[in-house]
Homo-oligomer: A and B are copies of this chain.
Amino acid sequence: MKPVSGQERLARAGLTRLCEPGDRAVRRCVFAEGHVAAHERLRAERPDLPDAASDLRRIHALGGRFLCPGDDEWPTRLADLERASKTGPDGRAGEPYGLWVRGPARLATATQLSVAVVGSRSATAYGVSVAGRLAADLADRGWWIASGAAVGIDRAAHEAALDSERTVAVLANGVDVAYPPENAALLRRISRCGLVVSEVPCGVTPRRPRFLIRNRLLAALSLGVVVVEAGVRSGALNTARHAALLGRPLLGVPGPVTSSLSAGVHQLLRDLPEARLVTRAPEIVEEVGRIGELADPLFGQGSARDGLSGALLAVLDAVPARRWALVATIAESARLHAPAVRAVLVALERHGLVEESAGGYRLTPLGRAPSNDPSHAPAGSAGESGRRVAGA
């Protein structure tokens, strides 16, 4: 998929200012006339609103960016929203026109192995503790934690994943708006070392319907949704239902049957046949790792390394754990041709085992996890490279 033209990019940015993400009339108009014409028409109606160029200047001034489908950093998984909008109930919002993003991580990489952890704002101490524990354990395993930056469960999940710098906040307002106000410091931290993402431009404040539209984006960006605590009317159940509609694993963490804040989760586990009960991070990885672009053997036997083919393993063993290495260096170390190594690295990155920067590639924590299968241990290299972290 090619990046969109500069003119279309500007139109897409403008559309996120001029209409709500789920607006059906605008979607029909875009479908019929294209982004540029649709944007011009809407723009003529609302000359009072900031124009796309000024919104783009504003996000750049914050060190952020505006992403469009076709960009390297665009998560291809979001196309599922377009499919769901066509087969599902009329008027469901499709793929975003674009995403406003702050933070140092690449969105496509972050969401490659990401799980949404969501739940009630009025969480109990039990829920907060469980959400934090699960998020920390998942982040330790190389997974990114996506959530909605609300108080309660969302906040506990973000905070726990911040230690590993692996968290994505998906907002219903502009990425520069501190909402809810009590999470202002949390959002600042996430935008410095994780990712803050929104479908609406800077300065836009949250409104009730935007939360529901945001929930679909949160579900679509993740490989699965984990609901930790939710009353029977919690918005977290809306995110969960979006996950089910998108074919993402929908996981519920049980709690005391005497707690009204677990009642929504229990209802979900009883009513939706696709919902699965989970209690620990490895169970979540087992469920979520089953789908998406990940190969089954990658997650079937405890360690991400198990079941990798010889070439993949040779390249993986040549990627440094902490410092960055260029493809040529890795190829030399693995005794393979550079073009083959480059292809393997792309596959390994898709599997969340390596990450890329301007300096080349290095292992992710998931890539550093030792194999459980002794036949995969390269003779003599473990102690030497120091990459097989005990207990990782």
Chain A interfacial positions (CB closer than 8 Å to B): 126, 129-130, 253-258, 262-263, 266, 269-270, 276-280, 283
Nearest CB of B to A128, in Å: 12
Q: Across the interface, which residues of B come within 8 angstroms of A280, CB to CB?
A: 257
Nearest CB of B to A221, in Å: 25
In the complex, which of the residues A129, A130, A254 has the most CB atoms of chain B within 10 Å of its own CB atom? A254
Nearest CB of B to A68, in Å: 41
Further pairs besides A129-B258, A254-B256, A254-B257: 16, Cβ < 8 Å = A126-B256, A126-B258, A130-B256, A130-B258, A253-B257, A254-B254, A254-B255, A254-B262, A254-B266, A254-B277, A256-B256, A257-B279, A263-B279, A266-B279, A269-B277, A270-B276
State in angstroms the CA–CA spacing of A277 and B270 once bound together: 6
Nearest CB of B to A232, in Å: 11
Asked if B283 contacts A270 (CB within 8 A), the reply is: yes
In the complex, which of the residues A255, A257, A278 has the most CB atoms of chain B within 10 Å of its own CB atom? A257
**Can you list the 5 inter-chain pairs with the closest CB atoms, starting with the nearest?**
A254-B254, A257-B279, A269-B277, A266-B279, A270-B277
Majority-rule SS of A interface residues: mixed
Which residue of B129, B130, B255, B283 is within 8 Å of A255 (Cβ)? Answer: B255
> What residue in chain B is nearest A276 (Cβ atoms)?
B270
> What residue in chain B is nearest A130 (Cβ atoms)?
B257
Asked if A256 contacts B257 (CB within 8 A), the reply is: no
State in angstroms the CA–CA spacing of A126 and B258 once bound together: 9
Q: Across the interface, which residues of B come within 8 angstroms of A256, CB to CB?
A: 126, 130, 254-256
State in angstroms the CA–CA spacing of A263 and B270 once bound together: 18
